[in-house]
Chains A and B, each alone.
Chain A
Amino acid sequence: MTTLPDALRETQEDFLALGDNDKLQLLIEFSGELPALPERYADHTELFEKVEECQSPVFIFCEVEDNTVSVFATAPEQAPTTRGFASILVQGLTGLSVTDALNIPDDFPSTLGLNQLISPLRVRGMTGMLWRMKRQIREKAPV
């Protein structure tokens, strides 16, 4: 069964409650909140996976420890949309249990009301990010 964790549900409700301009502003806020990489990864971006679905260079890396997920991402300052997408997912997935993370619906990115505003093609970049994060979590979770 797929269910949306509380943090992502709140993000979804926030987006859906806003008008078009405010939706863009919220995404810009998210892009400003993308956490910097922790020191242990800052010099090891070769561990990161490139999200090919995005036009801008964005790289992701997931950790699973004690059944808890952490997600890291890096994207250029001059790619605010991509950074915003990454930030929503990094903040929404970090701290979840493996089961909760894997239960996030694959179509979550297209349920934020951004398809018309930003175009389905761009939202597909976020879908690619989520798929890749879930695949990494699945690979890294102890069986």
Chain B
Amino acid sequence: MTLVSGSPVEAAQAHAQAAVPAWAQLSPEQKTILAPLEKEWDSLEPERRKRWISLAARYPKLTPDQQQRFQQRIQEWSKLTPEQRGQARERYKQLKNLPPEKHQELRQRWHEYQQLPEEKRQQLREQRPPAPPPAAGTGTQPPR
């Protein structure tokens, strides 16, 4: 174990840093998967690096399309604030169990939303969403 001449806090920080690998210490496969993070990797918090290593371990199980999207979105995800990541997870949890046809509908709605003029989208962002319709009869409420 390395002796650290600083305070206990510095020693703890040094230990935490040592627990997660620097970019140079990643395996070639991890480097390929996490390539979009190469420049910022060594400045990422240890917890974030651990999470990315954990996510990279799931990457080989994804389909080629999913792998492509995964890599394309790495930087976007990394730039979100912790609050935004939490918000995205919550919303994802709500929608992930919808039937396949509803996922298709969601993608269609997103496409339509993207086609709206920016002013309209901004207007929608500033509006409070109306109360959801009664669940009975619509059959469109997600499970749970």
Do A and B make up one complex?
A: no
A: residues with CB less than 8 A from B are none
